[in-house]
Amino acid sequence: MINKNAKLILEDGSIYEAYSFGYEKSSAGEIVFNTSMTGYNESLTDPSYKGQILVFTYPLIGNYGIPPINSYKNNIKKFYESDKIHVSGLITSYYSDYEFHWNMEKTLSEFLKINQIVGISGIDTRSLTKKLRKKGTMLCKIIISDDLNYLNYLNYLNYLNYLNYLGEKKKKIYGNGKYKILLIDCGVKNNIIRCFLERNCTVIRVPWNYDFLNEDYDGLFISNGPGNPKEYKTTITNIRKVLKFNKPIFGICLGNQLLGLAAGFETQKLKYGHRSNNQPVILSGTNRCFITSQNHGYVIDSKKIPNGWQIFFKNLNDNTCEGLINYEKFFFSVQFHPEASSGPIETQFLFDVFLNFIKLKTKK
């Protein structure tokens, strides 16, 4: 049974009383929101949320429990985006005490407790989200019981080194397909690997700081991940070197920012980021609009565009850059998530575009 023994304290001094339904510990981080109606198991295990307190705006969370945790396909967890929870805490309006689903293995509460992640409910999350959109990015802390002196959250992100937590530490290979994809793992979501495996690919997954210049591959993929893109100095240096090669490159989310920095673009931090499953983007030069899933706080600054590059997509809400493309070199990237698990998948054709670029280059 949940107990009303928690407080959410925002950087601006706002205090919310709440019920605790997760692991009984205090936590801190940057507070962000997610508009998904389903897919909390995917969101919780998305590496891009590392160090963040996640708010679900949908009022009914936990009603279908958690699917099997140790179910694998192609050496990847079947129902999750990574092998563990990455958020520092979870905030919901209402936590369902009545869970039922044919594929349920545990309750959400049990899942949080196993992973030692705090979860609180009883907060008007839509009102909280409106505050975040008005005030912009804020830090927060969740206090369990009366531990009011817990962690100076204002300094929290200063010592959180995202790069220590990212992905695989060694090279790992998935599948045995015709096309070799070298995947730079900055915190990759599992569904990205699944999308490549479904398209007759072999995925060679290497750490963010891996020296991959002598690897044998047909196309380079740069993954999503958390934090400020400018912190990935080794990755940017390596990407800058391979821009001279004649092999296709595809980046998603953080990968879009890293490719942009390597190409000579700049990045900037958004006021509150794009955090939803319904962000409209338009394909440049057309009236074709796509609804996309997004989770990022930084974007490409498109005021100055290096020679050979073009803006691929734009956000229809704020007109920010949503992708880059170099047609001559077959390099491109998007700020949104075409693999989108869970979320809209109408841009998943971009994986096929990447494979078509590879086929043109390799003539396989």
Catalytic residue among 253, 274, 296, 322: 253
Q: Which residues contact 232 (CB under 8 A, 6 or more apart)?
A: 163, 186, 208, 225, 254, 258
Q: Which two tokens stand for residue 112?
A: 């949080």
Known active-site residue 328: no
CA distance 152 to 28: 9
Catalytic residue among 42, 81, 322, 339: 339
Residue labelled with tokens 């044998």: 216
Catalytic residue among 86, 274, 296, 337: 337
Kind and range of the H or E element at 354?
A: helix 349-362
Known active-site residue 140: no
One-letter amino acid for residue 288 of the chain:
R
Nearest CA to 90 out of 49, 119, 126 is that of: 119
CA distance 32 to 22: 18
CA distance 243 to 118: 43
Known active-site residue 339: yes
Whether the CB-CB separation of 307 and 316 falls below 8 Å is answered with no
Catalytic residue annotation = 253, 337, 339
